[in-house]
Amino acid sequence: MRLLLDTHVLLWWLQGAPLSEEAAEKIADTANEVLVSAATVWELSIKRQLGKVDMPPDLVDQCHSEGFALLAMDARHADRAGALPLHHTDPFDRMLVAQAELDTLVLVTRDRTLASYDVQLLAA
């Protein structure tokens, strides 16, 4: 299974905050590929600079240490994110939906609004 972590899920995982039992098991299972989008790194960098989130300065290194792969954004992702129905207006979440859809990923999230899109979700 290929999992794409929503921003809040990545932070909770790194902070040891509780996730659903199923999500925690699937993220920890080394048989699964766990991905972190460049959009998530970008979003967290902005929020850190604005003082809205306390996160490690070495986020990319921590992702690697956890065995998470980094997922780049490309033009097809950007095009799809812009074309998605406006169920959700957050551009970072829209990018994650586009990446999950185009790259056949399971999006791990607690954001119920994302269920409006045609992507597979795993409740965090």
Domain range annotation of the chain? 2-123
- The confidence score (pLDDT) of residue 13 equals 97
Top-level CATH class of 2-123?
alpha beta
Q: Are strands 2-5 and 33-37 parallel, antiparallel or unpaired?
A: parallel
Secondary structure (3-state) at 62: helix
- pLDDT digit string (tens) for 11-58? 999 999 999 999 999 999 999 999 999 999 999 999 999 999 988 789
Residues in the chain: 124
- The overall average pLDDT reported for the chain is 96
How high is the pLDDT of residue 20?
A: 98
Model confidence, pTM:
0.96
Helical spans, DSSP H, in the chain:
7-15, 21-28, 38-49, 59-65, 75-83, 91-102
Dihedral Cα 15, 17, 20, 22, nearest 10 deg: 40
